[in-house]
Structure 1
Amino acid sequence: MGDSMKRTKTRYYVVASIAVVLAAVVFLLAPPRVAAMQPLPLTATSIALNPDDPNQQQVGRLRYMGGLVIKSTNDGFGGLSGLRAGPDNRLLAVSDTGNWVTFTTIERDGRLVGVSDGNITPILDGAGMPPADKEAGDAEALEWDPATGDAIVSFEQDHRLQFYRGIDPAKPDTLMQAATQVRRDPATAKWPDNAGGEALARLASGTLALLSEDAMDNYDRHDLLLITGNTTRRLGYVSPKGTRPTDAILLSGPDTILVVNRSYSPLGGVTAVLEILDIGALAKLPDSGVAGSAQKPVARLAKPLTVDNMEGIALRREGGRTFVYLVSDDNFNPMQRTILLKFELLPE
């Protein structure tokens, strides 16, 4: 065998060996699949808003009402990327590995102090089947009406919305149902695989507002789709500088939403920026317009404040007060955490 053939064969074995090692690493790091409904044991540790100054209780228009680092012995727990609140302190979440996650918050004198009664189960498709793999199960946002049980889950990679009826986290069996509808909107066909519908909010009219994490228009704005029945209208959203939208929820009026945006840098770490977006005002701007007065800042969470990869938001209203819950996606990374924060949204 000539020297060139020997070198070629050696390179082949080196490349093949590297490929095998990488495949093994991917396999070992891949989050385990949840096969069926399971109780979810949870532990929670309280955290301060500012570990360097435990007396700090406010950031922007947000008054701190407690926070937790949540862990579980169930390896399927993590990746929380959409959140909504229901009666009796129940929270409903979806994970980017294709699972429903539910639990109850424990609150004392209005402050978040713990969680209990956890459950986890796969999100079933229209045929009643769980996601076949991570790509199929990449759920990134959730909308849910506790009064009717109607729920919608937004997925990226295979960009789609899946619709459900009668969802009730207090009755875990209701989560074990097939989607009643699966919608793939032509407007999402050219969205990047891993930068799809990260934020989903249902407006008062029933219209769905779907925000892309990284599908941008010619004016460097994030795609904001307004979906009404079979009609889709495209607007552009300018997120705060250096950030990308990760979740949203109807705040007030017919179409004013609260948006969570996130950024990351090796030096500054993770930052979460909350702002109010008036979609009605945005819709009146010219195609090339920047939101301007349609957007109002609420708060910016950055070091040394407690913050992580905040991807889910939920609201509760009690006695004329509005409470905001934020949850983080730990990416199943041991260097990150699943944190749940509670705030009161203060008047302007």
Structure 2
Amino acid sequence: MSGRRNRPLTGAATGRIWQRRPLGWAALSLLALFVTLSQSCAAQPQAGRGAMPLVEHVGTYVWKLEDAEFGGYSGIEIMDHGTRYMALSDRGTLRWGAVQRDDQGRIEGLTSDGRARLRDSKGKVFTSGWTGDSEGIAIGRDGTIWISFEGLSRVAAYDAPDAKARPLPRPEAFKHFLRNSSLEALAITDDGTLLTIPERSGAATRPFPVWRFRNGTWDQPFSIPRTGDWLVTGADVGPDGRLYVLERDFLGLLGFRSRVRRFDMSDTALTHEQTLLTSRPLQYDNLEGIAVWDDDQGIRITLISDDNFNFVQRTELVEYRVTEPAE
């Protein structure tokens, strides 16, 4: 706010406000119409390389909970055939519980069975900010919880939600990521290989580097093409062995768009890029986390939004089913 005091609107000043009002109401009306149309339209699959699967919206659930530490969810894992979850807040908090679903498999509720604050390697609880900005989550087959951090760029392992961190070594490149734009996405393969991707690549025409940790060593074997203003917010390795990447485009007053791409993954390359879905502005909130799992009918994608602890935003869980074309 400026330092000038508010004064009563009189005379010419009142006239000027009144003259501008019709234009303001017209703009608001157009914006409201745009919001209505955007929210009434489902995200459409986009053409990509290879045979395109059928991508269907399953449902959207708005999650609410009376807890001061509820919100800011930047990562999610869905387990036990869609009946359990673990969600990660960007303020260093893990929350877990059960997912309640109706007969059609749509989410109708979530329980909160536990909550824990992440700790450093000495067992001290993180405060939110530079060291506690947790963004990506992946859970190994042995139950190890892996977390990537965006402020002080690093990846750490946790044997339990409230256990001490076991940080991995930091490559020199991690020290040069853009501030507040580093390791947003984290995924793990069946054999325990970790994959992490920064939110920004460092230049609009530079691909997003995919960093890999296996056998105690980091390398950067492949990258993801960067297009337009899309930035990486999440990643997961699906039951089909493909890498799924969630991206976001922020449009100011028009809110967010979200996109999910997937890639076939070999030891040396990502191939056969497909854009599975692209949402319209304001269709969903700020989707940041992605979990890909098998619901016995096909691949299910669960997305979660970060409300930034802002009362005008919401925590949404958005789900899609991916059905592969017949051979």
- CA distance in structure 1 between the partners assigned to 2:296 and 2:229 by the alignment: 36
Matched, 1:120 2:133: no
In structure 2, the CA distance between the partners of 1:301 and 1:54, relative to structure 1 (3 Å rule), is closer
Matched, 1:143 2:108: no
Find the counterpart in structure 2 of residue 298 from structure 1. Answer: 276
Alignment of 1:49-128 (within 5 A): 52=37, 59-60=44-45, 61-87=54-80, 89-109=83-103, 110-128=105-123
In structure 2, the CA distance between the partners of 1:294 and 1:72, relative to structure 1 (3 Å rule), is same
Find the counterpart in structure 2 of residue 154 from structure 1. Answer: 148
Amino acid paired to 1:242: D
Task: Give the fraction of aligned pairs with identical amino acids, expressed as a percent.
Answer: 23
Matched, 1:225 2:202: no
Amino acid paired to 2:77: R
Alignment of 1:143-182 (within 5 A): 143-145=138-140, 147-165=141-159, 174-182=160-168
Count of aligned pairs: 281
- CA distance in structure 2 between the partners assigned to 1:59 and 1:189 by the alignment: 38
Matched, 1:271 2:257: yes
1:276 Cα deviation from its structure 2 partner: 0.6
**Per-residue CA distance 1:5-31 (angstroms, 9 max, x = gap):** xxxxxxxxx9xxxxxxxxxxxxxxxxx
**Per-residue CA distance 1:307-346 (angstroms, 9 max, x = gap):** 1111111123132522111000111122211111122112
Normalised by the length of structure 1, the TM-score is 0.73
Normalised by the length of structure 2, the TM-score is 0.78
Amino acid paired to 1:150: T
Matched, 1:248 2:243: no
Find the counterpart in structure 1 of residue 202 from structure 2. Answer: 216
Give the conservation status (yes or no) of the 8 Å contact 1:198–1:212: yes
In structure 2, the CA distance between the partners of 1:321 and 1:51, relative to structure 1 (3 Å rule), is farther
In structure 2, the CA distance between the partners of 1:220 and 1:54, relative to structure 1 (3 Å rule), is closer
**Unaligned stretches of 5+ residues in structure 1:** 1-13, 15-49, 166-173, 285-290
- CA distance in structure 2 between the partners assigned to 1:53 and 1:187 by the alignment: 40
Amino acid paired to 2:56: R
- CA distance in structure 2 between the partners assigned to 1:151 and 1:246 by the alignment: 19
Find the counterpart in structure 1 of residue 24 from structure 2. Answer: none
- CA distance in structure 1 between the partners assigned to 2:123 and 2:130 by the alignment: 17
The runs of at least 4 consecutive aligned structure 1 residues that moved more than 4 Å come to: 50-58
CA root-mean-square deviation: 2.6
In structure 2, the CA distance between the partners of 1:273 and 1:190, relative to structure 1 (3 Å rule), is same
Find the counterpart in structure 2 of residue 37 from structure 1. Answer: none
Three-state SS of the structure 2 residue aligned to 1:106 is strand
Give the counterpart of 1:184 among 170, 193, 204: 170
- CA distance in structure 2 between the partners assigned to 1:231 and 1:180 by the alignment: 15
Find the counterpart in structure 2 of residue 257 from structure 1. Answer: 243
Three-state SS of the structure 1 residue aligned to 2:238 is strand
Amino acid paired to 2:121: G
In structure 2, the CA distance between the partners of 1:203 and 1:180, relative to structure 1 (3 Å rule), is same
- CA distance in structure 1 between the partners assigned to 2:125 and 2:255 by the alignment: 34
Three-state SS of the structure 2 residue aligned to 1:126 is coil
Give the conservation status (yes or no) of the 8 Å contact 1:98–1:137: yes
Find the counterpart in structure 1 of residue 305 from structure 2. Answer: 328
- CA distance in structure 2 between the partners assigned to 1:149 and 1:221 by the alignment: 32
Three-state SS of the structure 2 residue aligned to 1:188 is helix
In structure 2, the CA distance between the partners of 1:187 and 1:279, relative to structure 1 (3 Å rule), is farther
In structure 2, the CA distance between the partners of 1:133 and 1:303, relative to structure 1 (3 Å rule), is closer
